[in-house]
Amino acid sequence: MTIRVTIDRMLAERGMSVGDFADAIGITPANVAVLKNGRAKAVRFSTLDAICRVLDCQPGDLMSYTAPDDEDEPSSAEPSDGR
C-alpha cells in the first residue's frame, strides 16, 4: 500500500497510549490498531475529526503518500497473470 499512516508516531510524540487515545476519540483500541496499521478500508469523517481534535493536527499529518516503484507494479500495457 502506498498510503502510510503515522498515528503511532503522533501518539508517541504526545506520550499518549492507544487505550487513552481510543477513549478520547470514541472507538475501541482494536479499531485504533486497524487504523494505525493501515488495514482500515475507510474512516468516517466524524472519527477523523475526533482524531485531529485529540492530536491537535491536520488530516494530512496522519497520512503520507509514497509513489510505488515502477518495477514493483506491472504496467497497464502488460497483461497480469490473472488475464
pLDDT above 90 coverage of the chain, percent: 73
In the CATH scheme, what architecture does the domain 3-65 have? Orthogonal Bundle (1.10)
Q: What is the pLDDT of residues 9-37, one digit of tens each?
A: 999 999 999 999 999 999 999 999 999 99
Q: Coil, strand or helix: which one is 55?
A: helix
Looking at residues 51-76, what average pLDDT do you find? Answer: 82
For residue 48, pLDDT beyond 90? yes
Express the helix, strand and coil content of the chain in percent, nearest 5 each.
45, 5, 45
Beta bridge partners of 63: 5
> What is the pLDDT, as a whole number, of residue 1?
59
Residue 2: pLDDT band with limits 50, 70, 90: confident
